[in-house]
Amino acid sequence: MSKNKKNFDMAVVNTFFEHDYHDRGMVKWQGFYLSDHTAALKKMAKDRHSPSPIEKK
């Protein structure tokens, strides 16, 4: 067995997920979507303002 694999108590894991862990669900997904959307808008703005190969002559 490798060093990284450790024994754990499933009761502790279950308690954590039942009482302590809060899944943000849609809020987290919307954050990822917003991040991707913002990145795409920035790329579009950069592409729009960069000179085309024809203008470089």
Residue 22 is predicted with a pLDDT of 80
User: In this structure, what token pair is assigned to residue 7?
Assistant: 């024994």
Q: How far is CA 14 from CA 18, 20, 21, 54, in A?
A: 6, 10, 10, 63
Residue 1 is predicted with a pLDDT of 46
Mean pLDDT by 10 residues, the chain (57 residues): 68 90 78 88 88 63
Q: Model pTM?
A: 0.41
Our CA dihedral for 36, 38, 41, 47, rounded to 10 degrees, sits at -80
Residue 15 is predicted with a pLDDT of 92
